[in-house]
């Protein structure tokens, strides 16, 4: 290991942040703004805003096989290729280079680079509410969240005011409104479906998705040009990513040291102070091992990577993994399911042509189990996400016959309006759904392979049936024909909302983190990625990770200022 006394001083910072994705970017920015000399460690390469978006302005015909993955892609990357296409492949890991063990099928979708998955995320931003924060306590499931909506509400506002979220206020207690930029517009068929839902279903409504896309210029970024190519990186900075927003803001303070190509392999424990003293890192360019030290540590490597890092950090004090007195680290893994829904075709409104090029769809907020006594055969709920459009030539070409001019005309005439919609459903925290480390198999860095053992259970399966039925009802109620219910039966992980492997809770015996995301067993360690989540709710979770991060940074700052750390 390369670590002389001389370098010890040089390698010491006020704060270390592990991982530069959505949550780590936030931690780095907040800590730098508070005046901390901060080291941001990222295992992947650097991706600089705009400069490193090689496909941002390419057309489908610029790619050798259009936007289709080849058989070779699918064989080489059986997991990642379900999410990438040739325009985004460079922002995802290679499955062959980054193996893991699936005890049951689980898609672990990853982007190892500066910015993590903030470059490719869908940008949907929804607040959780007390319906979610109180649910575990009410149902006697897992452990109670140690916070309530009022604790996080100001931090949601703080985050939204920085990232920029467009959306429509709807005044719903279970989906609180935020600090919104002007909403994007629903297209004709979506408005028609929304009107029908309003008329027929009294506790439901359809609204435009709330997304971190800038409908007006914002803090030197945007506005969004509605190109809907966000996941390639946006040359206008029209959507929120670490690369476009938090990392440049952290750099601007002069307090950030960004170190890419740095895999954190272990958290180092200081027996005397009973806190973390720093981290051990493999430099993937030189293969050298380094140690870095700091007063506080934020772990933001993303749910599964964070748990594996804790489990790999064993010492005489923590033989089962860092901060794991509760034996909860790695357990309670959750992911939303998004397999079930319905599709329908509408044969009217042919004079309305424009489907709208927007980087988002619509949302039907949760409408199940909002009150006690609904007598459904499952707990919790789901929201519906979907979009409406007219069939295009790709959809039509399968059923058209002909030749020459007439055929061309048929192809260029838009088909019927369609709506596709699916439920994003809550997954309960089951202790058996877990990640562990394999005792024998290692990756090319000598780190134990992660084993993932996850399945959806009866509650999620029953919810999926309800999603299909209520989706079909809403489409039929709005006059759609040929309504088809579907269940893609996607594996866990494929909604890419992994959560729960180092949960927050009141009691150190049953949880890993306290109400400020501070480790019960090592007070200078904070974990604010998805592993902190005590339950999953049904809202897309990243906005909550950001709000938890900003709140934890303020708490850590106060603790340090008051000499408590
Ligand atoms: C296609 C897609 C669409 C999505 N849509 C949405 C959406 O609409 N709304 C939503 O809320 N969420 C969405 N998500 C999920 C969202 O991307 C994640 O919730 C979010 O990125 C998690 O943030 P994070 O900081 O925990 O992890 P990440 O953003 O994954 O960042 C983790 C970082 O840590 C680094 N790292 C890992 N291990 C180590 C280590 N040992 N040492 C150093 N660095 C390490 C990684 O390289 C990575 O850069 C989507 C994801 C995908 C892929
Ligand atoms: S839709 Fe908006 S944010 Fe997305 S790539 Fe286009 S301009 Fe950028």
Residue-wise pLDDT for 398-435, tens only, equals 777 788 888 888 788 888 999 999 999 999 999 999 99
Cα–Cα distance, 449 to 314 (Å, whole number): 16
Looking at residue 396, its pLDDT comes to: 74
Please report how many Cα atoms fall inside a 13 Å half-sphere around the Cα of residue 163, on the Cβ side. 34
- Cα(123) to centroid of ligand 2, in Å? 11
Residue-wise pLDDT for 446-500, tens only, equals 999 999 999 999 999 999 999 999 999 999 999 999 999 999 999 999 999 999 9
- Cα(247) to centroid of ligand 1, in Å? 15
Looking at residue 1, its pLDDT comes to: 52
264 CB under 6 A from ligand 1? yes
> Residue 12 forms beta bridges with which residues?
293
- Probe target for ligand 2 pocket from 53, 118, 120, 225, with the most ligand atoms within 8 Å of CB: 225
> Residue 278 forms beta bridges with which residues?
268, 293
- Cα(168) to centroid of ligand 2, in Å? 19
Q: Give how far the C-alpha of residue 554 lies from the chain's centroid of Cα atoms, to the nearest Å.
A: 23
> Residue 522 forms beta bridges with which residues?
519
Cα–Cα distance, 436 to 466 (Å, whole number): 33
Residue 305 pLDDT greater than 70, yes or no: yes
Q: Phi and psi for 22 in degrees, rounded to 5?
A: -55, -50
pTM over 0.85? The answer is: yes
- Cα(26) to centroid of ligand 1, in Å? 12
230 CB under 6 A from ligand 2? yes
300 CB under 6 A from ligand 1? yes
Residue-wise pLDDT for 499-541, tens only, equals 999 999 999 999 999 999 999 999 999 999 999 999 999 999 9
Looking at residue 227, its pLDDT comes to: 81
Cα–Cα distance, 345 to 483 (Å, whole number): 7
Q: Which residue has the tokens 């040739």?
A: 86
Kindly report the average pLDDT of the chain as a whole number.
Answer: 95
Quick one: the chain helix, strand, coil %, rounded to 5? Answer: 25, 25, 50
Cα–Cα distance, 482 to 51 (Å, whole number): 47
- Cα(374) to centroid of ligand 1, in Å? 36
Residue-wise pLDDT for 195-249, tens only, equals 999 999 878 999 999 999 999 988 889 999 988 899 999 999 999 999 999 999 9
- Cα(123) to centroid of ligand 1, in Å? 12
In this structure, which residue's CA is closest to atom 6 in ligand 2? 227
User: Do residues 340 and 486 lie in contact, with contact meaning Cβ atoms separated by under 8 Å?
Assistant: yes
Cα–Cα distance, 464 to 458 (Å, whole number): 10
Of ligand 2's listed atoms, the one at least distance from the Cα of 227 is 6
Give me 485's structure tokens.
């219910």
Please report how many Cα atoms fall inside a 13 Å half-sphere around the Cα of residue 556, on the Cβ side. 33
In this structure, which residue's CA is closest to atom 4 in ligand 2? 230
Cα–Cα distance, 366 to 165 (Å, whole number): 20
Cα–Cα distance, 139 to 151 (Å, whole number): 21
Please give the C-alpha separations between residue 186 and each of 76, 127, 175, 362, 422, in angstroms, as whole numbers. 39, 21, 19, 7, 17
**CB burial string 417-440: b at 16+ within 10 A, e below:** bbbbbbbbbbbbbbeebbbbbeee
Quote the percentage of the chain above a pLDDT of 90.
Answer: 90
406: which residues sit within 8 A by CB, 6+ positions away? none
* Burial class of residue 125, CB neighbours in 10 A (0-12, 13-18, 19+): buried
Tell me the residue ranges of DSSP E strands in 323-406: 340-346, 362-364, 382-390
Looking at residue 214, its pLDDT comes to: 96
Please give the C-alpha separations between residue 526 and each of 315, 424, 534, in angstroms, as whole numbers. 19, 29, 15
């Amino acid at each position: 290991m390369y670590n002389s006394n001389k370098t010890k001083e040089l390698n010491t910072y006020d704060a270390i942040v592990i991982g530069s994705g959505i949550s780590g970017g936030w931690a780095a920015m907040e800590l730098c703004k508070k005046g901390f000399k901060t080291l941001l460690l990222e295992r992947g390469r650097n991706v600089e805003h705009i400069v490193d978006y090689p496909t941002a302005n390419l057309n489908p015909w610029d790619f050798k096989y259009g936007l289709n993955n080849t058989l070779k892609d699918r064989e080489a990357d059986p997991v990642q290729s379900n999410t990438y296409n040739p325009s985004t492949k460079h922002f995802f890991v290679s499955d062959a280079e980054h193996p893991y063990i699936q005890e049951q099928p689980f898609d672990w979708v990853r982007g190892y680079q500066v910015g993590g998955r903030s470059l490719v995320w869908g940008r949907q931003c929804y607040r959780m509410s007390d319906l979610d924060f109180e649910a575990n306590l009410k149902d006697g499931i897992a452990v109670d969240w140690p916070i309530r909506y009022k604790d996080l509400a100001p931090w949601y506002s703080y985050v939204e005011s920085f990232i920029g979220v467009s959306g429509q206020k709807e005044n719903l207690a279970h989906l609180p409104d935020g600090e919104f930029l002007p909403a994007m517009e629903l297209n004709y068929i979506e408005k028609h479906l929304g009107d029908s839902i309003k008329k027929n279903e009294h506790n439901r409504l359809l609204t435009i998705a709330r997304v971190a896309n800038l409908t007006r210029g914002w803090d030197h970024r945007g506005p969004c040009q509605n190109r809907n190519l966000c996941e390639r990186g946006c040359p206008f900075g029209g959507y929120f990513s670490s690369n476009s927003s938090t990392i440049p803001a952290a750099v601007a303070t002069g307090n950030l040291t960004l170190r890419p190509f740095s895999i954190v392999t272990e958290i180092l424990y200081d027996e005397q102070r009973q806190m973390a003293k720093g981290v051990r890192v493999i430099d993937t360019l030189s293969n050298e091992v380094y140690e870095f030290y700091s007063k506080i540590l934020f772990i933001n490597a993303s749910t599964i990577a964070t748990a594996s890092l804790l489990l790999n950090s064993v010492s005489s004090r923590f033989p089962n993994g860092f901060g794991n007195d509760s034996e909860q680290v790695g357990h309670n893994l959750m992911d939303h399911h998004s397999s079930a829904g319905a599709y329908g075709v509408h044969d009217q409104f042919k004079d309305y042509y424009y489907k709208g090029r927007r980087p988002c769809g619509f949302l039907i907020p949760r409408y199940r189990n909002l009150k006690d006594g609904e007598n459904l055969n499952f707990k919790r709920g789901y929201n519906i996400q979907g979009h409406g459009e007219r069939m295009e030539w790709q959809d039509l070409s399968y059923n058209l016959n002909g030749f020459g001019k007439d055929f061309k005309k048929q192809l260029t005439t838009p088909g019927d309006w369609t709506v596709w919609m699916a439920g994003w459903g809550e997954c309960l925290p089951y202790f058996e759904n877990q990640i562990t480390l394999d005792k024998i198999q290692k990756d090319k860095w000598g780190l134990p392979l992660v084993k993932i053992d996850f399945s959806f259970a009866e509650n999620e399966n029953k919810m999926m049936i309800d999603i299909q039925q209520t989706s079909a009802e809403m489409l039929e109620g709005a006059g759609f024909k040929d309504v088809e219910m579907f269940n893609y039966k996607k594996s866990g992980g494929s909604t890419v909302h992994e959560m729960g492997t180092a949960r927050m809770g009141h009691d150190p015996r049953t949880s890993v983190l306290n109400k400020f995301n501070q480790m019960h067993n090592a007070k200078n360690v904070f974990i604010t990625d998805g592993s902190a989540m005590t339950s999953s709710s049904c809202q897309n979770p990243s906005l909550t990770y950001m709000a938890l991060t900003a709140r934890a940074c303020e708490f850590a700052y106060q603790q340090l200022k008051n000499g408590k750390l």
